Structure 1
C-alpha cells in the first residue's frame, strides 16, 4: 500500500503543479461575475485536491504508519521540516502575514492614495483579527496533538517484549495521532481560505504551493549533491 502511495504522491504532486498553473493564469482581480465564479471553482478544485491527498494518506497509514512517517517520497530537507508526517499547520499564518506585508509594501503609494488593490496586501482589519483568532486556536490544537505524540513516544519502552496485540494497539494510537495532525492541516487550510476573498485565496494558495515546490526542489538538489 505504501509503495502505491508513493506512486500516488508522484502523480498527485504533478497534478498539483497543473492546478497551480491554472490559478496563476486566472484573471486577477476578477472583472466579471464569470471571472469570480471561475476563481471560486479553481480554489474549490485545489482544496479538493488536498483533501484527496489526505484521504489516500489516511488509508495508507492504516496499513503502514511507520512508512508514512518515514516518507521516502520526500527529500531529506522536507523530512527535516515535518511535524507529525507533514507541514506544521501554523506555518499557514506566517505565510499569510509575509505575503500580505510584501504586497502591502509594493502597493504603499496606491494605498496612501486610498486605492484598493483587493489582494493579500489589502486585508481588512476584520480579516486580520479573524486570522489572528484562528491562529491562536490552531496553536492550541497543534500543541495538544504534539502532547499526544510525546505521550506515545514516552510509552515506546512498552514495545520491548510486548505481544503482537499490544504492539498493534500502540501502532494504532500512532495512526490516530497522524490522522489528527492531517485533519488539522486540512482544516486550517480551508478555514484560512474562508476568511479571504476569492482573489486573496488564489494568491495565498499559489504562495503556499510555490513554497512547497521550492522546498522540494531544493531538497532534491541537496540530496543529489550529497549522493554524488
Structure 2
C-alpha cells in the first residue's frame, strides 16, 4: 500500500508539472503575440503619424499657394485702383489704342496694369485658338484667330514702346514679368533665336524649304541679338567711364562744372537705352511675322500655342516657387 501511495504521489506531481509547463508555454506564446501586436501597432501608429504630417504639409502648401494667388489678385486690384486715381489726376494711361502720348508720373504702374490686361486678353485668345485646333476647325477660321493673336502681339510692342519713353529702366529690368520669366529676359523680352530653337521640334514635319527658312531666320536673329548685346555692353562701359571721370575732390567751381558736364554726358548716353529696347522689340516682332509667312496656317497655330504654353509654364513655375513651404 505504501508503494501504491508513492506511485500515486509521483503521478500527481508529473501531471502538475505538465500543467505548469503548458501554462508557462501559453504565457510565453501570449507574450510573444502581445509583443508582435505591439510592434504592428507601433508601425501602424508611425505610418498614421507620417500620413498626418504629410497631409498637414500638403494643406500648408495649398494654403500658401491660395494665399499667394489671393495676394496677386489683391495687388492687381490695388494697381487698378491706383491707375484709376492716376487717370483722374490727368496722368496718361490709354486703353483705347491711342498710345502716342508718353506716360508720366506713374508710368511704370500704368504699364503694369496695361500689361496685366494684355496678358488676360492674350490668354483668352490662346484658349480660343486651342479650342479651334482641337475641334479641327478649317484653315479660314484658324487664320482669323492666328492673325488676331499676331496683331495682339503688335499691340504689346506699342505699349512697351510708350512705357520705355516714360521709364526705360522698368522695361529693361523686367519687373513686370514673373521671377522665372526674368531668368530668360533679354532687353525687356524673349530672345527670338532661343524661342525658335524651342519651336522647331513642335513644328515638325517641315518641308526642306521650311526647315531652311526657319534655320536662316534663327541664325539672322542670333546675329542681330549679338550685335545689340555688344552695343549694350559698350554703352555700359562708356557710361561707367563717364561717371568715373567726374570722381574726385569737390568744392571748387571747376570741379562742380566738370561734374555737371560729366552727368550731362551720362544722361545723353542713357537716352540711347530706349533705342535698344525698340530695336529688340522690332526684332521680336519681325520674327513672329516671318515665322507666320514661312509656316502654314495650321503650323502657325501650333507655334503660337507652343509659345503661349512655354510662357504660361514659366509663370506657373514662378507661382509654385513663391508659394513653396519655407521650413
Structure 1 residue 24 and structure 2 residue 24: aligned? no
Structure 1 residue 168 and structure 2 residue 271: aligned? no
> For the residues of structure 2 that align with 1:136 and 1:71, how far apart are their CA atoms?
25
Residue 220 of structure 1 and its aligned partner are, at CA, apart by 2.5
Q: TM-score normalized by structure 2?
A: 0.59
> For the residues of structure 2 that align with 1:9 and 1:159, how far apart are their CA atoms?
34
Of residues 153-162 and 1-10 in structure 1, the stretch that sits farther from structure 2 once superposed is 153-162
- Mapping 1:26-105, distance limit 5 Å: 26-27=132-133, 35-99=138-202
> For the residues of structure 2 that align with 1:145 and 1:72, how far apart are their CA atoms?
21
Structure 1 residue 4 and structure 2 residue 110: aligned? yes
Give the number of equivalent residue pairs. 205
Give the structure, 1 or 2, with the largest relative contact order (CA under 8 Å, sep 6 or more): 1
Residues 192, 51 of structure 1: CA spacing in aligned structure 2 closer, same or farther, 3 A cutoff? Answer: same
> For the residues of structure 2 that align with 1:80 and 1:226, how far apart are their CA atoms?
22
> For the residues of structure 2 that align with 1:53 and 1:180, how far apart are their CA atoms?
14
Aligned to 2:121: 15
Superposed CA offset, 1:168-191 (max 9, x none): 312211111111111101111111
Residue 5 of structure 1 and its aligned partner are, at CA, apart by 0.3
> For the residues of structure 2 that align with 1:187 and 1:123, how far apart are their CA atoms?
21
Aligned to 1:205: 304
For structure 2, the residue ranges without an aligned partner over 5 or more in a row are 1-106, 247-258
CA RMSD of aligned residues (A): 2.0
Q: TM-score normalized by structure 1?
A: 0.83
For structure 1, the residue ranges without an aligned partner over 5 or more in a row are 100-119
- Mapping 1:131-210, distance limit 5 Å: 131-157=214-240, 158-159=242-243, 161=246, 163=260, 165-210=264-309
Residue 130 of structure 1 and its aligned partner are, at CA, apart by 1.0
> For the residues of structure 2 that align with 1:226 and 1:187, how far apart are their CA atoms?
42
Residue 153 of structure 1 and its aligned partner are, at CA, apart by 1.2
> For the residues of structure 1 that align with 2:295 and 2:144, how far apart are their CA atoms?
14
> For the residues of structure 2 that align with 1:55 and 1:148, how far apart are their CA atoms?
23
> For the residues of structure 2 that align with 1:217 and 1:225, how far apart are their CA atoms?
12
Residue 132 of structure 1 and its aligned partner are, at CA, apart by 1.1
Residues 206, 27 of structure 1: CA spacing in aligned structure 2 closer, same or farther, 3 A cutoff? Answer: closer
Of residues 74-83 and 13-22 in structure 1, the stretch that sits farther from structure 2 once superposed is 74-83
> For the residues of structure 1 that align with 2:121 and 2:292, how far apart are their CA atoms?
20
